[in-house]
Structure 1
Amino acid sequence: MVTVKEHIVIRGVGGISPLGHNAVSTANAYSAGIPAFTAKQYQGSPAPVAPLSPAGEQQLQEFVQSNPNYKQLDRSVLLAVYAARQAADEAGWLAHSTTNDDLAVNIGSSRGATGLFEQHYEAFQQEQLSSGASPTTTLGNLSSWVAHAVNAGGGQISHSITCSTALMAVANGVAWLKAGMAKCFLAGGTEAPLTEFTVAQMRAVGIYSKLADHPYPCQPYALEKQNTFTLGEGAAVFALEQVPQTAIKPGDFVIEAVGLGFEKIVSKTGISAEGLNFQKAMRHALAQLPEQDRQIDLIITHTPGTRAGDKAELNAVQAVFGKATPAVTTNKWLLGHTLGASGALSLQYALYILQQQQFAPVPYPNQLLPQQTQQAKLIKRIMVNAAGFGGNAASLVVSCQQ
């Protein structure tokens, strides 16, 4: 009996970020290559941040008005639900009004209900704490409210593994589908960190960008030796299915591999100069590809604009690929670092690149090697990296079927 090879296919994509609130607006933003940053006052001094665009904010608020229950939810949950419904709709999963017990959900966030938590803690200090404080600030809101919105009756997972969260969610989706524990799977990440306390935390670490008035406040790979970490908000969710090789069609996006890596932390942020966690994750992903075909045409790096983190990841890329190092790019100079949502938004960018066969070159002086800025004639396969506090890393490989 011949075993038919099966693949994990992305059937639908949903996203909302500083660059757009649907596929068209997001694609237009990437094509334009205009950063989405603005300066806002935090604790009496300006900080660059990347909030939703006015059009995106309007769409989100109209969405909130569609359901009275949404008004009580944290912004991170709302972003997740908004993106998840897009993905499920594109996959054709919203056509069923009854609960689908074969549809599972895994939505992650680094920080969770940041905004509501700060509000409720302020009320607590004033002895005015609401009975809704606990139910609305649990991490479980992420998956449970998404499940309600898309009629998912299968497993519901909410988790945080800091900035690797979204790619870990996709890894869970791949594992669940291959194990037969679900037939459909929604996976992604969300983050709404543009709050006083969160910005203050990043400033305390000493990594936040001081380039509030600069056109590029977030500068991954920058030549100048300074930290330019800049926060953004957003969410992206993917509708995954496992299908046989015979059902794959041209234009289908296939997740070919998800690699994971970990190293013991040597600092508060868990970064080693060699980027050992990145090396392990990339090698783990490459080992899942066919031995005779492990060509990567482009890497979308994690690189949040920190001196140590950016350099460590580039060192890791060089260590893994050597003279065959592919082109390298990032979207953080456009929308900042969205923490737990960053891997998902990078994957969304990868799908855009695979469709359009182009990506915007980094527009400021950078430390990339010449071969790392040269686009392949045809981009068939992209690796997406993510890493988070604690020493963890993830690498996902996605391709578009020709």
Structure 2
Amino acid sequence: MINSRTEAEAVTVIRGRGRVSALGLALPPSGAAPASPFTTHPTGVPVATLPAPAEAAVAELRRHPSYRQLDRTVLLALLAARQATAQAGWGNGEMVSGELVSDGQERHLTNSPTHQLTVSPLAVSIGSSRGATGRLEEFHAGFLAEGSVPVAASPLTTLGNVASWVAYDAGQHGGAALSHSSTCSSAFQALGNARAWLKAGMATRFLAGGTEAPLTDFTLAQMRAIGIYSPLAAADWPCRPGAGRPSSFVLGEGAAVFALEQLSAAQAAAETGPLLVLAGVGFGFEAIGSKTGLSPDGQHFQQAMREALAQASLTPADIDAVVLHSPGTPAGDAAERAALRAVFGPALPALLSNKWLVGHTLGASAALSLDFACHVLETQQWPPAPFTTDLATAADKPIRRILVNAAGFGGNAASAVVELR
């Protein structure tokens, strides 16, 4: 049902979504998480890497000749995009090769170069903080050793190859393929751009989201050099948003992609089932001297949240829950909560997070947080964190609107509002 506030407005709806993370291709468990999904990287630090079934899906993608040389970041995006298009019903079910495979809670498409989409053109907008991290490091290592690089080195490591391969895999013909990089808010840059294009009539359907595969020795060394990495063991839930000291930042890999459509007010009113609506995407920036820090009161968070609320024609009192950016760093967690108090007042909405389940996935983190928010809206539940924190453990009222935060190095932040209508 469309309420009076929006009955005359067109809306951006989420027709389908897909994800891959340390939880596999599945959504978070409805009850308590049975065990920590984190593992120990060869460098000795905890990481949130893919479980075996999802890893098998990545390996299956690599069997296709066109995909053998692709970076892991791209392959994760393909897996998530395939789920999103399948859930949206944008494919006709014909596979060039391969089949839809179910392994319990997870379903994935194997050995299929395209989805044979029935809708065209389809636009694509994908965010990634670092892009083809693994391949870039491999090519650079080869250059240092041999003084030369393969012909494919440049095209396989440009940021644009993320969106272009998602578009290729989806069978796109004639639409835009856009890649975005704005550190850890990259996915919301992609989703905000997609929403703007849809509202402007420049596209009718979009695949938009974020992806990141940063679990390389060099990237992990960079995170450790900042002094924020968690000292906790992998089995001991090492990523702990809102828990205070010590810092519990843990790097993860993953992707989430959304199938977006723009519906007129009449089309939205004619829908018979509930709609997930991307109601607003706002951005903030604060010019500060430190490009790794942020102001104590999170000014960029405040700007982004207020803009997202304004786009959605909502007040802070209309928000039932917030999925935090909250990476587990004491300063970052505190600044975000200060920003929340500035926007919402002392009585905050329910605070939620999925980073304790999937780690911080950099450019994919905002998309995975939005996917988590959609899951909460649909099920009205989430697993409680198994450590002392300020995260909510259960809903005390129906949750219909969730605000999702993201922020990254450089002073940027982004927020999105998703509604169940």
- Alignment partner of 2:91: what SS? helix
- Alignment partner of 1:350: what SS? helix
* Structure-2 residue corresponding to 1:217: 238
* Structure-2 residue corresponding to 1:160: 181
- Alignment partner of 2:345: what SS? helix
**Residue by residue, what CA displacement relative to the aligned partner does 1:299-333 show, whole Å, maximum 9, x if unpaired?**
00001111111110011111110134101010111
Aligned partner (choices 214, 222, 229) of residue 201 of structure 1: 222
* Structure-2 residue corresponding to 1:396: 416
Amino acid at match of 2:303: K
* Structure-2 residue corresponding to 1:276: 299
Counterpart contact for 2:30–2:382, Cα < 8 Å = no
* Structure-1 residue corresponding to 2:135: 116
- Pair 1:14-2:14 in alignment: no
Aligned partner (choices 260, 263, 270) of residue 283 of structure 2: 260
Counterpart contact for 2:230–2:249, Cα < 8 Å = yes
Q: Tell me the distance in 2 between the aligned counterparts of 1:363 and 1:325.
A: 21
Counterpart contact for 1:33–1:360, Cα < 8 Å = no
Counterpart contact for 1:271–1:309, Cα < 8 Å = yes
Distance 1:361 1:109, change over 3 A: same
Aligned length: 388
Normalized against structure 1, the TM-score is what? Answer: 0.92
- Alignment partner of 1:32: what SS? coil
Q: How does 1:81-100 map to 2 (within 5 A)?
A: 81-95=78-92, 97=116
- Alignment partner of 2:334: what SS? helix
Q: Tell me the distance in 1 between the aligned counterparts of 2:232 and 2:204.
A: 47
Q: Tell me the distance in 1 between the aligned counterparts of 2:313 and 2:287.
A: 30
Return the offset for 1:360: 2.3
Return the offset for 1:50: 0.6
Amino acid at match of 2:406: A
* Structure-2 residue corresponding to 1:63: 61
- Alignment partner of 1:218: what SS? coil
**Residue by residue, what CA displacement relative to the aligned partner does 1:347-399 show, whole Å, maximum 9, x if unpaired?**
1111111111012233212256xxx6662310101111000111111110001
* Structure-2 residue corresponding to 1:36: 37
Distance 1:58 1:4, change over 3 A: same
- Alignment partner of 1:151: what SS? coil
Structure 2, unaligned runs of 5 or more = 1-6, 93-114
Q: Tell me the distance in 2 between the aligned counterparts of 1:325 and 1:86.
A: 34
Counterpart contact for 1:19–1:36, Cα < 8 Å = yes
**Residue by residue, what CA displacement relative to the aligned partner does 1:115-149 show, whole Å, maximum 9, x if unpaired?**
00111111001115222111111111101101111
Distance 1:288 1:98, change over 3 A: closer
Distance 1:376 1:100, change over 3 A: same
Return the offset for 1:292: 7.1
- Pair 1:346-2:344 in alignment: no
Aligned partner (choices 209, 212, 215) of residue 188 of structure 1: 209
Return the offset for 1:4: 4.0
Counterpart contact for 1:301–1:328, Cα < 8 Å = yes
Return the offset for 1:29: 7.3
Counterpart contact for 1:38–1:50, Cα < 8 Å = yes
Normalized against structure 2, the TM-score is what? Answer: 0.88
Q: Which is further off, 201-210 or 86-95?
A: 86-95
Amino acid at match of 2:202: M
- Alignment partner of 2:284: what SS? strand
- Alignment partner of 1:11: what SS? strand
Return the offset for 1:241: 0.5
Structure 1, unaligned runs of 5 or more = none
Counterpart contact for 1:329–1:362, Cα < 8 Å = no
Aligned partner (choices 401, 406, 411) of residue 381 of structure 1: 401
Percent same amino acid at aligned positions? 53
Distance 1:64 1:161, change over 3 A: same
Return the offset for 1:291: 5.3
Q: Tell me the distance in 1 between the aligned counterparts of 2:390 and 2:32.
A: 23
Distance 1:374 1:90, change over 3 A: closer
Return the offset for 1:151: 1.8
Q: Tell me the distance in 2 between the aligned counterparts of 1:392 and 1:292.
A: 23
Q: Which is further off, 273-282 or 83-92?
A: 83-92
- Alignment partner of 1:261: what SS? strand
Amino acid at match of 2:278: I
Distance 1:208 1:29, change over 3 A: farther
Q: Tell me the distance in 2 between the aligned counterparts of 1:245 and 1:323.
A: 36
Distance 1:160 1:170, change over 3 A: same
* Structure-2 residue corresponding to 1:298: 321
**Residue by residue, what CA displacement relative to the aligned partner does 1:97-123 show, whole Å, maximum 9, x if unpaired?**
479553111111001000001111110
Amino acid at match of 1:41: P
* Structure-1 residue corresponding to 2:360: 337
